[in-house]
Amino acid sequence: MNKHTLPDLPYDYNALEPYIDEETMKLHHDKHHASYVNNLNGAVEKYPDLSSKSADDLIINLNDIPEDIRTAVRNNAGGHVNHTMFWQIMSPGKGGEPSGRLAEEINKTFGSFGDFQNRFNDAGLKRFGSGWVWLVMTKDSKLDIVSTPNQDNPVMDGQKPILGNDVWEHAYYLKYKNMRADYLKAWWNVVNWEEVEKRLNIKN
Ligand code: MN
What are 49-52's contacts with CB under 8 Å, separation 24+? 51/1, 51/3
Q: How many Å lie between the centroid of ligand 1 and the Cα of residue 169?
A: 8
In degrees rounded to 5, what are phi and psi of residue 121? -60, -40
What span, in angstroms and rounded, lies between the C-alpha atoms of 22 and 38? 23
Q: How many Å lie between the centroid of ligand 1 and the Cα of residue 108?
A: 31
Q: How many Å lie between the centroid of ligand 1 and the Cα of residue 165?
A: 9
184 found inside a domain: yes
17 found inside a domain: no
Closest to 31 measured CA to CA, from 178, 130, 170: 170
Tell me the sheet residues that pair with 136.
144, 161
State which of 34, 55, 88 marks the end of a domain: 88
Q: How many Å lie between the centroid of ligand 1 and the Cα of residue 97?
A: 24
Q: How many Å lie between the centroid of ligand 1 and the Cα of residue 33?
A: 7
What span, in angstroms and rounded, lies between the C-alpha atoms of 58 and 35? 17
State which of 66, 88, 110 marks the end of a domain: 88
Same domain, 122 and 55: no
Buried b / exposed e along 144-175 (16+ C-beta atoms within 10 A): bbbbbeebbbbbeeebbbbbbbbbbeebbebb
Residue 109 maps to which CATH number? Answer: 3.55.40.20
Q: How many Å lie between the centroid of ligand 1 and the Cα of residue 136?
A: 19
Q: How many Å lie between the centroid of ligand 1 and the Cα of residue 163?
A: 14
The pLDDT score that the predictor gives to residue 86 is 98
Q: How does pLDDT run along the chain (204 residues), one tens digit per residue? A: 558 999 999 999 999 999 999 999 999 999 999 999 999 999 999 999 998 899 999 999 999 999 999 999 999 999 999 999 999 999 999 999 999 999 999 999 999 999 999 999 999 999 999 999 999 999 999 999 999 999 999 999 999 999 999 999 999 999 999 999 999 999 999 999 999 999 998 865
Q: How many Å lie between the centroid of ligand 1 and the Cα of residue 178?
A: 16
Q: How many Å lie between the centroid of ligand 1 and the Cα of residue 24?
A: 10
Q: How many Å lie between the centroid of ligand 1 and the Cα of residue 141?
A: 27
Same domain, 60 and 142: no
Tell me if the pTM is above 0.85. yes
pLDDT tens digits along 47-99: 999 988 999 999 999 999 999 999 999 999 999 999 999 999 999 999 999 99
Q: How many Å lie between the centroid of ligand 1 and the Cα of residue 103?
A: 27
SS3 150: coil
Same domain, 82 and 120: no
Same domain, 40 and 77: yes
Closest to 73 measured CA to CA, from 88, 56, 86: 56
The pLDDT score that the predictor gives to residue 2 is 56
The pLDDT score that the predictor gives to residue 4 is 97
The pLDDT score that the predictor gives to residue 204 is 54
Amino acid identity, position 41: N
Overall number of domains in the chain: 2
The pLDDT score that the predictor gives to residue 201 is 85
78 found inside a domain: yes
